[in-house]
C-alpha cells in the first residue's frame, strides 16, 4: 500500500525532427537498417535555445495545469536526467523556480540513466511519506543529442531528446510494488568526467541488448512474485523504449502482447524521459483510466533496472 495515484501527465518535445534518412547525412546508415534493427523511424533533437531544462519546464507546466493542483501544494520535485543542462544547479531546482513552487520543499535530480524515471518515482514517494506532503512532480528529461558522437553510427541513430512530467498523489490505500537492481558495468557511458576529457556516448550494443532482453522479464516476474499478481491482473506494461526488438523478445517470454505500449518509432530512445512520455501519450489517447494496474520497467546504463507496479 502507500501507493501513488497518477493525477496528470505532460510532455515536451524539441522543435526539430530528424528522420532516419536525415541521420544518413551524418553517418553511413539507412532507414532500412535503423528501422529493421530497432523500430526507430524518427527522433527529436534540440535546436538552439532548447535543452533538458526548457523541456522539463514545459512538460511540468502542462502536467501541473492538468492536475488542477495549486503550485503551492506540490511537495517535492524529482527530475530524472543524465543529460541535464548543468550538473549544478539541478534541473529540478530550475523547474521549481519556473513554476514558482513553495520554497519549503525538496528538489533534486536522480541519475540512473534510462531507469531514472522509475527511480525518481520511488524517491518522490519516499519524500512524500517522510515529509507529510501529498503531491509530487516527477519528471524525466533528456537532451541525449548533447552527449552523442555524431560520427559513431552504432550509437547516434538510437537516441532522441524529450521530456515527460507526471503529478502523483500519495494514497495510503493504493497498491504499490517496486523492485530495483544494479549490475555494475561500463557497457554504456557518456558525460564529462573532467572539463578536458569529455566522453561522448559509447556503448557495447550487443551486451546491452542481451542485458535488456533478459532484465525486462526478470523485473516483471519479480514484481508479480512480490505483489502476488500475474499478467492477467495487469492493464498495461510500459517499458523503457530502447529497441522494439528488445520489447518483442520480452513479450515472447511474458505474453500479454496487447498490453505492451510502444512508441519508439517516433521518439527513438529518450532515456529517462521515455516512460513519462509514453504515459502522457497514453493519457492523451484515453488509454489510462483510474484504478488500472500498470507495470513499468526501466533499464539502462549502470547497468541499472527498476520496476514499479501500481494502480493509477
Ligand atoms: C545497437 C544495435 C541496434 C546493433 O544491432 P546488431 O544487430 O547487434 O548489430 P551489430 O552491432 O552486430 O552490427 C551489425 C553490422 O551493422 C553495422 N552497423 C552498426 N550501426 C549501423 C548503422 N546505424 N547503420 C548501418 N549499419 C550499422 C555494424 O558496423 C556491423 O557491420 P559489420 O558486420 O560490417 O561489422 C543492437 O545491438 C541494440 O539495439 N542494442 C541495445 C542498445 C540499446 O538499446 N541501448 C540502450 C539501452 S537503455
For residue 185, the SS3 value is strand
**Minimum-distance ligand 1 atom for the alpha carbon of 212:** 47
Mutate to test the pocket of ligand 1, among 205, 214, 242, 297 (most ligand atoms within 8 A of CB): 205
Q: How far is the CA of 113 from the centre of ligand 1 (A)?
A: 20
Does 151 contact ligand 1 (Cβ within 6 A)? no
Does 33 contact ligand 1 (Cβ within 6 A)? yes
pLDDT digits (tens, 9 = 90+) for 250-306: 999 999 999 999 999 999 999 999 999 999 999 999 999 999 999 999 999 999 999
In this predicted structure, the answer to whether residue 197 has a pLDDT above a threshold of 80 is no
What per-residue confidence (pLDDT) applies to 263? 98
Q: Write down the residue that cell numbers 543529442 correspond to.
A: 145
pLDDT-based confidence at residue 193 (cuts at 50, 70, 90):
low
What per-residue confidence (pLDDT) applies to 213? 96
Instruction: Find, among 183, 175, 76, 192, the residue nearest to 130 by Cα.
Output: 76
Q: What is the mean pLDDT of residues 36-62?
A: 98
Instruction: Find, among 246, 227, 248, the residue nearest to 295 by Cα.
Output: 227
Q: How far is the CA of 205 from the centre of ligand 1 (A)?
A: 6
φ, ψ (nearest 5 deg) of residue 188: -130, 130
Percentage of the chain lying above the pLDDT 90 cut: 93
Give catalytic residues, as residue numbers.
114, 240, 269
Instruction: Find, among 265, 262, 309, the residue nearest to 287 by Cα.
Output: 262
Domains and CATH numbers, the chain: 1-312 (3.40.47.10)
Q: Which three cell numbers stand for residue 63?
A: 502536467
In this predicted structure, the answer to whether residue 195 has a pLDDT above a threshold of 70 is no
What per-residue confidence (pLDDT) applies to 130? 96
Report the Cα 254 to chain-centroid distance in Å. 22
Q: What is the mean pLDDT of residues 35-58?
A: 98
86 sits in the region (left: phi over 0; alpha: psi -120 to 50; else beta) called beta
Does 26 contact ligand 1 (Cβ within 6 A)? no
Question: What count of other Cβ atoms lies within 10 Å of the Cβ of residue 191?
Answer: 14
pLDDT-based confidence at residue 194 (cuts at 50, 70, 90):
low
CA distance 293 to 119: 19
Amino acid at each position: 500500500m502507500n501507493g501513488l495515484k497518477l493525477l496528470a501527465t505532460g510532455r515536451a518535445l524539441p522543435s526539430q525532427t530528424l528522420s532516419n534518412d536525415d541521420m544518413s547525412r551524418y553517418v553511413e546508415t539507412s532507414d532500412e537498417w535503423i528501422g529493421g534493427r530497432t523500430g526507430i523511424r524518427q527522433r527529436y533533437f534540440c535546436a538552439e535555445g532548447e535543452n533538458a531544462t526548457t523541456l522539463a519546464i514545459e512538460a511540468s507546466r502542462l502536467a501541473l495545469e492538468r492536475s488542477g493542483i495549486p503550485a503551492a501544494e506540490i511537495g517535492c520535485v524529482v527530475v530524472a536526467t543524465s543529460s541535464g543542462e548543468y550538473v549544478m544547479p539541478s534541473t529540478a531546482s530550475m523547474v521549481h523556480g519556473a513554476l514558482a513552487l513553495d520554497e519549503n520543499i525538496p528538489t533534486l535530480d536522480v541519475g540512473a540513466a534510462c531507469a531514472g524515471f522509475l527511480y525518481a518515482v520511488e524517491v518522490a514517494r519516499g519524500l512524500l511519506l517522510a515529509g507529510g506532503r501529498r503531491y509530487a512532480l516527477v519528471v524525466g528529461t533528456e537532451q541525449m543529442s548533447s552527449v552523442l558522437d555524431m560520427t559513431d553510427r552504432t550509437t547516434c541513430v538510437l537516441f532522441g531528446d524529450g521530456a515527460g512530467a507526471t503529478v502523483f498523489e500519495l494514497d495510503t490505500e493504493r497498491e504499490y510494488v517496486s523492485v530495483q537492481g544494479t549490475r555494475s558495468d561500463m557497457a554504456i557511458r557518456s558525460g564529462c568526467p573532467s572539463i578536458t576529457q569529455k566522453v561522448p556516448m559509447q556503448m557495447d550494443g550487443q551486451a546491452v541488448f542481451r542485458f535488456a532482453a533478459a532484465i525486462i522479464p526478470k523485473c516483471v516476474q519479480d514484481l508479480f512474485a512480490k505483489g502476488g499478481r500475474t499478467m492477467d491482473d495487469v492493464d498495461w506494461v510500459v517499458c523503457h523504449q530502447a529497441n522494439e526488438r528488445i520489447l518483442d523478445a520480452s513479450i515472447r517470454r511474458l505474453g500479454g502482447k496487447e498490453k505492451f505500449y510502444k512508441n519508439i518509432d517516433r521518439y527513438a530512445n529518450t532515456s529517462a524521459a521515455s516512460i513519462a512520455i509514453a504515459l502522457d501519450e497514453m493519457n492523451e489517447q484515453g488509454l489510462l483510466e483510474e484504478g488500472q494496474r500498470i507495470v513499468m520497467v526501466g533499464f539502462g546504463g549502470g547497468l541499472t533496472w527498476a520496476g514499479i507496479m501500481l494502480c493509477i
